Amino acid sequence: MFDYTPFYICCMELLYRLDDINEVAADVLKAFGERNVIAFSGEMGSGKTTLIHAVCRQLGVKGNMGSPTFSIINEYEGERGPVFHIDLYRCRDEEEAIRAGVEDCIYSGCLCLVEWPEKAPSLFPEETIRVSLTEKDEGRRKISVT
Amino acid sequence: MPVKILAIESSCDETAASVCVDGKILSNVIANQTVHAQYGGVVPELASRAHMQNIVPVVDAALKKASVSLKELNAIAFTKSPGLIGSLLVGSQFAKSLALSLDIPVIGVHHMQAHVLANLIDEPRPAFPFLCLTVSGGHTQIVQCKSPSDLVVIGETLDDAAGEAFDKSAKLLGLPYPGGPLIDTYAAKGVARFNFPEPQIPGLDFSFSGLKTAILYFIRDNEAKDKNFLQQNINDICASIQSRIVSILLNKLKRAADQTGIREICVAGGVSANSGLRSSLTGMGIREKWNTYIPAFQYCTDNAAMIAITGYFKFLNKEFDELDVRISARADF
The structural domains of chain B, ordered by start, are 4-116+300-316 (3.30.420.40), 127-294 (3.30.420.40)
The pLDDT of residue A93: 86
Of A70, A77, A83, A135, which to mutate for an interface test with B (greatest number of B Cβ within 10 Å)?
A: A70
pTM: 0.87
**How far, in Å, CA of A137 to CA of A10, rounded?**
26
Stronger pLDDT, B23 or A80, i.e. the higher one: B23
Mean pLDDT calculated for residue range A8-30? 84
**How far, in Å, CA of B119 to CA of B115, rounded?**
8
Extended strands (E) in chain A: 12-17, 37-41, 73-78, 81-87, 111-115, 129-135, 140-145
Annotate B241-289 with DSSP letters as a single string: HHHHHHHHHHHHHHHHHHHH---EEEEESGGGG-HHHHHHHHHHHHHHT
Q: ipTM of the assembly?
A: 0.78
- Closest by CA to B180, choosing from B274, B317, B264, is B274
- Residues of A whose CB is below 8 A from B45: 95-96, 99-100
Cβ–Cβ gap A53/B168 under 8 Å: no
B254 inside 8 A of chain A by CB: no
Of A46, A67, A133, which to mutate for an interface test with B (greatest number of B Cβ within 10 Å)?
A: A67
* pLDDT-derived band at B46, boundaries 50, 70, 90: low
pLDDT for A87 beyond 50: yes
**How far, in Å, CA of B82 to CA of B137, rounded?**
13
Mean pLDDT calculated for residue range A77-105? 89
Query: What's the mean pLDDT when you consider all of chain B?
Result: 93
Q: Is there a contact between B122 and B295 (Cβ–Cβ < 8 Å)?
A: yes
Number of Cβ atoms within 10 Å of the Cβ of B328: 15
What distances in angstroms separate CA B285 from CA B249, B252, B267, B278, B296, one per listed residue? 14, 14, 12, 10, 18
The pLDDT of residue B32: 67
pLDDT for A89 beyond 80: yes
* pLDDT-derived band at A14, boundaries 50, 70, 90: confident
pLDDT tens by residue, B266-321: 999 999 999 999 999 999 999 999 999 999 999 999 999 999 999 999 999 999 99
- The pLDDT > 70 percentage for chain A reads 93
Exposure string for A90-104, b = 16+ CB within 10 A, e = fewer: bbbebebbbbbbbbe
Nearest CB to A66 within list B44, B158, B168: B158
B37 inside 8 A of chain A by CB: no
Nearest CB to A101 within list B43, B82, B85: B85
- Helices A48-58 and A21-32: crossing angle in degrees, nearest 10, is 70
* pLDDT-derived band at B45, boundaries 50, 70, 90: low
DSSP 3-state of A66: coil
* pLDDT-derived band at A1, boundaries 50, 70, 90: very low
Stronger pLDDT, A17 or B121, i.e. the higher one: B121
**How far, in Å, CA of B218 to CA of B225, rounded?**
11
Mean pLDDT lowest among A43-47, A136-140, B164-168, B313-317: A136-140
The pLDDT of residue A2: 46
Name the superfamily (CATH) of residues A3-145.
P-loop containing nucleotide triphosphate hydrolases (3.40.50.300)
Interface of A with B (CB under 8 A): 43-47, 49-50, 53, 64-67, 69-75, 89-92, 95-96, 99-101, 135, 138
- Residues of B whose CB is below 8 A from A49: 159-160, 209
- Residues of A whose CB is below 8 A from B199: none
Q: What DSSP state is assigned to residue B39?
A: G
DSSP 3-state of A118: helix
pLDDT for A6 beyond 60: no
Cβ–Cβ gap B43/A74 under 8 Å: no
pLDDT tens by residue, B74-125: 999 999 998 887 889 999 999 999 999 999 999 999 999 999 999 999 999 9
The pLDDT of residue B90: 93
Q: State how far residue B317 is from chain A, nearest Cα, in angstroms.
A: 30
pLDDT for B35 beyond 80: no
CA dihedral B98, B102, B104, B106 (to 10 degrees): 0
Q: For residue A116, how many C-alpha atoms fall within 13 Å in the half-sphere facing its CB?
A: 19
Stronger pLDDT, B90 or A137, i.e. the higher one: B90
Using left for φ > 0, alpha for ψ between -120 and 50, and beta otherwise, residue A138 falls in: beta
DSSP 3-state of A103: helix
The pLDDT of residue A4: 43
Exposure string for A44-76, b = 16+ CB within 10 A, e = fewer: ebbbbbbbbbbbbbbbebeeebbbbbbbbbbbb
DSSP 3-state of A130: strand
* pLDDT-derived band at A10, boundaries 50, 70, 90: low
- The pLDDT > 90 percentage for chain B reads 83
pLDDT tens by residue, B227-273: 999 999 999 999 999 999 999 999 999 999 999 999 999 999 999 99
Nearest CB to A73 within list B45, B205, B329: B329
Q: State how far residue B291 is from chain A, nearest Cα, in angstroms.
A: 30
- Residues of A whose CB is below 8 A from B50: none
Residue B161 one-letter amino acid: A
pLDDT for A75 beyond 90: no
Which residue of chain A comes nearest to B39, CA vs CA? A92
Q: State how far residue B75 is from chain A, nearest Cα, in angstroms.
A: 29
pLDDT for B41 beyond 60: no
Mean pLDDT lowest among A93-107, A109-123, B181-195, B241-255: A93-107
What distances in angstroms separate CA B319 from CA B1, B145, B146, B181, one per listed residue? 19, 18, 17, 38
pLDDT tens by residue, A38-51: 999 999 989 999 99
